[in-house]
């Protein structure tokens, strides 16, 4: 029997164990567990993808439960980020999607206002 030594995203499973060895309690550990569960649910969704013309192997109730799990996990991740004083904007992005933000140098602006004075 073969033992899977990689996670759904091809990350070696020992990486998760190594990370969890650092601290078994606290927000970091909770975030790690939430991310592992989220990755697992994502892998299940990918593995059970069915074209629209075929019957999905999961019931609609199960699909809704998975969606609810994603919502609860994301909500908790947002709460933990807020508690740390960080912003949580974990949104999926396509590789070719342009960035919404860009850096603007204020040095040129300051220089131009000094010249006008």
Whether the CB-CB separation of 22 and 28 falls below 8 Å is answered with yes
Q: What is the pLDDT of residue 104?
A: 74
Q: Can you say how many angstroms the Cα of residue 107 is from the centroid of all Cα atoms in its chain? A: 35
Q: What is the pLDDT of residue 8?
A: 52
Q: What is the reported pLDDT for 2? A: 43
pLDDT tens digits along 1-24: 444 445 555 555 544 554 445 555
What was the pLDDT predicted at 3? 45
Tokens of 117: 């004075």
User: pLDDT digits over 13-61, tens only?
Assistant: 544 554 445 555 566 899 999 999 999 999 999 999 999 899 999 999 9
Q: Identify the pLDDT of residue 73.
A: 95
**pLDDT at res. 65:** 96
35, burial (CB in 10 Å: exposed 0-12, middle 13-18, buried 19+): middle
The first and second tokens of residue 57, run together, are 């192997």
Position 85 confidence tier, pLDDT thresholds 50, 70, 90: confident
DSSP category for residue 6: B
Q: What is the pTM of this model?
A: 0.56
């Amino acid at each position: 029997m073969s033992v899977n030594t990689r996670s759904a995203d091809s990350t070696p499973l020992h990486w998760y164990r190594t990370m969890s060895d650092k601290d078994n309690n606290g927000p970091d550990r909770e975030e790690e567990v939430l991310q592992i569960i989220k990755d697992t649910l994502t892998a299940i969704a990918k593995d059970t993808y069915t074209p629209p013309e075929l019957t999905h192997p999961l019931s609609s109730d199960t699909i809704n439960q998975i969606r609810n799990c994603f919502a609860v996990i994301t909500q908790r991740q947002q709460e933990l980020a807020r508690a740390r004083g960080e912003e949580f904007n974990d949104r999926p992005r396509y590789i070719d999607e342009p960035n919404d933000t860009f850096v603007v140098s204020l040095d040129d602006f300051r220089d131009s206002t000094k010249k006008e004075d």
